Structure 1
Amino acid sequence: MSRVSAAAFAVPGNLSLPTGGYHYDRCLLDGLRAEGRDVSHIALPASFPFPGPADMGQAVAQLSDIPESRVLLIDGLAFGALDTRALDRIAAPIVALVHHPLAHESGMAESEARRLHALERDNLQRAAHVLVPSGYIKQVLVDEYAVEAERMTVIRPGRPEVRVAQAEAAPEGPPLILSVGLLHPRKGHDVLISALGRIADLDWRAVIVGSPWEEAYDTKLTALISELGSQDRVRLAGRVDQAELDTLYADAHLFALATRFEGYGIVFDEALMRGLPIVSTKAGAVPGTVPDDAGLLVAPDDPAAFAEALRTLLQDRDRHAACSAAARRAGATLPSWTDAAETVGAILDRVAGAQVS
């Protein structure tokens, strides 16, 4: 019988935060434990990826306490920002989980992006193995971070546990355009709002669900909605509970996210499973996540093109029906978190075996 390795999973901040990355980490941790694995959770300081000296020191101490007998899985939000010299003092073999490179975050000063790129590139050379959520991120790490392809494995997120309700009748009122994503510049909600302003002649309503990133950005989005005269048709819902989100998905006519970059995008899987046509962009991993026949993808940062895609799916019933059927088919074939945990577990065992051999 093969050896089942013990592990530790280090994640900065509150593991219950409602973002795609934290959802991924929670489900992976739960899946590994459901396999009967001994996996401890290490809560690193929430200030990563921009820790001060005290938080950096605390994180290094926490990671250095992990014994050589445990494989140390570190979320990329922390791994890419750790002091490289400190990594050399950690006894446990390291597996890095990179949702997307830190330097690819939107709105970052160029000098800071260069610093994080160099730091993460050096840190990735210290990892025994690297997990990524998509083939796109794997290729980015090969091309821009000199990580060998054979040292990486794509672990696609497991299919969401969603309540897929079949509506007994069409929802009342104008067609609902639903967007779900953190209220952050990277998610392109400003582009979506601008695009909606270009199709004001059509009948629709829109709801944008997402936890606030910072108050100033929420205020900017609210101001843009008012500037375009869309305040009676576009609602920034903030964070909602699962019951309300299920209702919104059930009522939605289509799903729209004008993202500027995605390492994967779990919300697309949620939309696919519910049979929603998708309007999004060709940014990052989106083309590899959203099937060609399940929606319309346009260039990022192009409100006019995004508006035309929305217009097409609002007006062309046959196109909408075809995309909806394709989305439902794709959603039905998504892998599970059990599949993801089994693959990661095998990697942890292999890394642990290499460490003791």
Structure 2
Amino acid sequence: MNTSARVVWFVVPDGFDDPDRVSGGNVYDQRVSVELRALGWDVRIVEVAAESSAARTDPFEPLPDGSLIVVDGLIAIGRPSAIEAACARLRVVVLAHMLAESFPDADPQAVEGEKRTLPRAHRVIAGSEWLREELARRGLSTPDRLVVATPGSDEAAMATGTATGGSLLCVGVVAPHKGQDTLVDALARLTDVPSWTCTIAGSTAPEPDFAARIAAEAQAAGLSERITWAGVLTAGVLDEAYAQADLVVAPSRTETYGIAIGDALARGIPVIASSIGGIPEAAQPPGAAVLVSPGDPAALGDALRRWLEDPRLRASMSAAARHAAPARRRWSDTARTIHATLEALS
């Protein structure tokens, strides 16, 4: 392949690499762009405002005819008219990080954007097998155009944790779909269990009212001394949080995959998570994870109580996580799948 054929335009939300605006989609875009360069692609980043009056502009118009472009799904569904025009003259690959309709309060414009853009894309990269199946079932793409490239994780040192198993960690934007309210309610049922603490790491900016409400609920339940609202953690500080964690909790109401789950298991940290979306794919092997119904604080509380009170369960789950950690999928694996998709379109 000649050099010009290896150019790929990568259209992403503006600030996708801003450490204060961490999201699963942004992490995916960052890591894939880096790994594609390592595989020989000339990756040309185009940052686009995700939500503003600028959505009326066409970020694809300046690109030469026949260009190969990878578009973050957030950008794609926000600009259906631009994508429709682009698909007529460009080779368009959409990275689908989520399914808008799966959110509790789905944005009608986002749902409509999916219906207009995804069927027209030449390829759709789904972040999990679950998402691929959902997109095909809903007629948003066809099996021959759907490719699964699940998120990877970095090779990391095994977490040291604590002797009691009481260091709990929850990572993700503080928002209803991530279910931190369910976690707070579950923890309020465990005030009789000594020695546990929980760090909730993630931005509170997108849903400030929700974040303030559950923080107030935690305080009213007498959990202020046991829950730390850490906000967005830089990479190094987040690594430290994982290193000190005994268990990662992911109480999501909807989730395409769960990058934090993969990051935890790559460090040998067991997981208690919701049995929703693509989480069962991420929460492997089964012996390293307990899955509970989403939005069910009683079920989550029971699972946490078993973890905290049963040393044999903790030892078994930790051993399973540590044993499987070296074989976890890496970001280079994710990028190789996308690389093969781009080569086929080239």
Report the TM-score, using the length of structure 2 for normalisation. Answer: 0.91
Indicate the residue corresponding to 1:207 in structure 2: 199
Shift of 1:166: 5.5
Contact 1:194 1:303 in 2 (8 A): yes
Contact 2:55/2:78, CA 8 A, preserved across alignment: no
Contact 1:131–1:153 (CA under 8 A) maintained in structure 2: yes
125-134 or 99-108, larger mean C-alpha shift: 99-108
- Residue 319 of structure 1 deviates from its aligned partner by 1.2
* SS of 2:97 mapped into structure 1: coil
**Which residue does the alignment assign to 2:340?**
346
The corresponding residue for 2:71 is 74
Q: Is 1:135 matched with 2:135?
A: no
Q: Which residue of 2 aligns with 1:273?
A: 266
1 CA distance for matches of 2:136 and 2:165?
46
Correspondence for 2:91: 93
Q: Does residue 1:312 correspond to 2:299, yes or no?
A: no
Retained in 1: the 8 A contact 2:13–2:49?
yes
1:197: which partner in 2?
188
**Paired residue type of 2:33:** L
TM-fit CA distance, 1:340: 2.1
Instruction: State the SS of the aligned residue for 1:183.
Output: coil
Q: Distance in 1 between matches of 2:313 and 2:291?
A: 14
Deviation at 1:165, TM superposition (A): 4.4
Q: Offset at 1:68? A: 2.3
Unaligned runs of 5+ in 1: 353-357
- Mapping for residues 34-45 of structure 1, pairs under 5 Å: 34-45=38-49
Answer yes or no: is the 8 Å Cα contact 2:270–2:318 preserved in 1: yes
1:20 alignment partner AA: G
Report the equivalent of 1:355.
Answer: none
Q: Which moved more, 1:145-154 or 1:224-233?
A: 145-154
Moved over 6 A (4+): none
How much identity, in percent, do the aligned residues show? 30
Q: Secondary structure at the match of 2:233?
A: coil
Residue of 175, 179, 199 corresponding to 2:166 = 175
CA–CA distance in 1 between the matches of 2:174 and 2:45? 27
1:25 aligns with 2:22: no
- Matched with 1:10 is 11
C-alpha change, 1:144 and 1:305, in structure 2 (3 Å) is same
Deviations 1:102-133 (A, max 9, x none): 2323434xxx43x4323312211211111011
- CA-to-partner distance for each residue in 1:59-83, whole Å, 9 max, x for gaps? x1x2121112421111001112223
Q: 2:295 aligns with which of 297, 301, 320?
A: 301
Unaligned runs of 5+ residues in structure 2 are none
After superposition, residues 278-293 of structure 1 pair within 5 angstroms as: 278-291=271-284, 292-293=286-287
CA RMSD of aligned residues (A): 2.0
Q: Aligned residues, how many?
A: 338
Task: State the TM-score, normalizing by the size of structure 1.
Answer: 0.89
Map Cα deviations across residues 217-252 of structure 1 (whole Å, 9 max, x no partner): 221121111121111111111112333322222222
Distance 1:161 1:15 in 2: 23
**Residues 23 and 173, structure 2, Cα contact 8 Å, conserved in 1:** yes
